[in-house]
Structure 1
Amino acid sequence: MTDPTTATTPATRHGLEAVARPGGGFAMLAVDQREAMRAMFAEHQSAPVTDEQLTDFKVAATRVLTPHASAVLVDKQFAFDAVVDSGAVAPSCGLIAAADHFIAGNGEFVTAVEIDRAVDPAAVRDQGAVAMKLLVIHRPDEAASGRIEMVEEFVDRCRAAGLVSIIEPVAKAPRGGGAWDWDTCVVEAARELGSLGADLYKAEVPRKGQGDEDEIRRACAEITAAVSSPWVVLSSGVPAELFPRAVELACREGASGFLAGRAVWASVIGSADLERDLHEVSVPRLQRLGELVDELVRR
């Protein structure tokens, strides 16, 4: 049993201070969305959404929000070089490079994922990154071996460069169709991939943060039992107004914070005054979430 007089936080126990808040929890911002973000912009305009629009938004969000985040996740495709070159990341905020190549198909922005070989771990480390992240698609009718091999290779690539490794398993429907249970798949992904050596595990919120509190907490406890590292929740699929509750429930059952984007900035996409709305809408949301993590994870 841990001596309470010498207890440490999840971050210090696992060497994750570079992406954690001073209290040891994680309040991390994601701006690595790609075609999904383009679709969000398309809801607000009739003209085609340009790559430059995505880059400009990501740089602006990074500059305004990272003083209030413990880390920021950025994709190489649209924004990593731009946020580095512009000095947009606050000195107190760790930089995470997305190292996943998204493959679209079957009406999905991401139907499969590969390790992005164009993201060189040593190169992004030299640009200031302290971690890399890999999205993993978990389908119940696909063999676990491919997912496991990819995660193990990714972890090795991170370790060789001295970078924190973050994996993000996402549950998707069987390719072959048929009945399946999304919540069951979320927990099964944690059991399958949560002890393969990744430094941090990023999970979907059980029941998408909606419905019975006991059921959400029970599933979060199962994720905690399955994952050998600290874990955090993402906000995709969770209504923005429910995300603080989702973070609280998850942290009460062993999670250590969040790595989220949509719950923080989605509502300001398409704004006529982006800088103003990032400051007036997104900053308070991120601050509130960070304070919640500080309250719940300091232990």
Structure 2
Amino acid sequence: MTFRMTTAERRGYQQICGDNGFMMVVACDQRGGMRKVLSDTPEGQKAIGVDVLGKTKYDITSYLANKATCVLLDATCAVPGVIDEGILSRDTGLLIGLDDSGWDTDVNGYRKSIMTPGITARRVRELGGTGAKLMVYLRPDLPDANNHNVQIIRDCVADFAVEDVFLVVEILTYQVDGETDADYKAAFPDLIIGCARMALELGSKVLKLPYPGTPDACAKVSELCDGVPWAVLSAGVDHITFVGQVKTAMDNGASGVIAGRSLWKDCISMDRAVSKDRLENVASVRLHEIQAILDGYAEQH
């Protein structure tokens, strides 16, 4: 069964899409990942407070995301300040991340997603969000690995349905103990297809997924979605690699891009003057290249 958006959800979706009808969201809700970009050492990363992360996210918003259709931010460092301090453009949508940084593990070593306390559908609306993004980890081939995270999806989908607030569901998968790199790589396309299937069955209406690995896997995801939009995420690959992935995903039915580190990972610094320059002159060029690709697909339809 495919779940369709309500009018309010459709409006939220429209606001994270460009005039070309495709999603173009700059993701900077990372916390642990952003600390690793800003410092090479565990000690340095630990010393980076939420205030520094917040200012870094302000800079990404000011000099990069305001040129996109939407920004994805967290309520720990960046929201509501990005609105209250006039950083976010009035024409730029805002997705608020529900998931907290990192994960817990159960007795079997399976990942348990964790949520940012107090960020509900109603709170997203109060914070000025266009909608929200939920990220959970799944291993669709290992049913016992998923009970905790499936319940998170169920609860969030139900909460956002009651409040009629737009929700993007992001699914990541992961390598389990004892699984070789080769086995994981070989299984990855089917894992992403399985992740998409599970998320759709749980009522997700818009998906954010890693590049599924092959054109065929992208096409299978699109077939499963049956009109439910899905965006490809960058997973921190380099820009040239991501451009190729975007083209393949779009060729095979994707509905846009939600990208973070591939745009800005080498453009942020503890020196905000350096961040401003590189976000303006390096990251923005990358963004415009992806926007041009999406515009090209719009012209084909």
TM-score higher than 0.5: yes
* CA displacement, residues 156-189 of structure 1 (integer Å, 9 cap, x when unaligned): 2222223211011001122565654223211111
Partner of 2:210: 204
**Could you say what the CA RMSD is over the residues aligned between the two structures, in angstroms?**
2.6
Partner of 1:210: none
Q: Is the 8 A contact 1:271 1:277 kept in 2?
A: no
Q: Is the 8 A contact 1:186 1:203 kept in 2?
A: yes
Query: With structure 1 as the length reference, what TM-score do the two structures score?
Result: 0.84
Q: How does 1:205-284 map to 2 (within 5 A)?
A: 205-207=211-213, 216-228=214-226, 229-270=228-269, 272=271, 273-284=274-285
* CA displacement, residues 174-212 of structure 1 (integer Å, 9 cap, x when unaligned): 2565654223211111122124322210010123xxxxx
Separation in 1, partners of 2:9, 2:126: 25
Partner of 1:76: 75
Partner of 1:294: 295
SS at structure 2 position matched to 1:236: coil
Count of residues paired in the alignment: 278
Range with greater deviation from structure 2 (46-55 or 130-139): 46-55
Q: Counterpart of 1:196 in structure 2: which amino acid?
A: L
Aligned-residue offset at 1:121? 2.1
Q: Is the 8 A contact 1:97 1:132 kept in 2?
A: yes
* CA displacement, residues 96-152 of structure 1 (integer Å, 9 cap, x when unaligned): 11011344457xxx9431343411322321332011111010124343444333212
Query: With structure 2 as the length reference, what TM-score do the two structures score?
Result: 0.83
Distance 1:46 1:23, change over 3 A: same
Partner of 1:17: 14
Of residues 161, 185, 188, the one that matches 1:182 is: 188
Separation in 2, partners of 1:63, 1:236: 22
Separation in 2, partners of 1:247, 1:102: 26
Separation in 2, partners of 1:142, 1:87: 45
Separation in 1, partners of 2:291, 2:85: 25
Q: Is the 8 A contact 1:268 1:274 kept in 2?
A: yes
Separation in 2, partners of 1:174, 1:254: 30
Range with greater deviation from structure 2 (19-28 or 94-103): 94-103
Identity of aligned residues (%): 23
Q: Counterpart of 2:34 in structure 1: which amino acid?
A: M
Structure 1 unpaired stretches of 5+: 1-10, 208-215
Range with greater deviation from structure 2 (23-32 or 284-293): 284-293
Q: Is the 8 A contact 1:205 1:238 kept in 2?
A: no
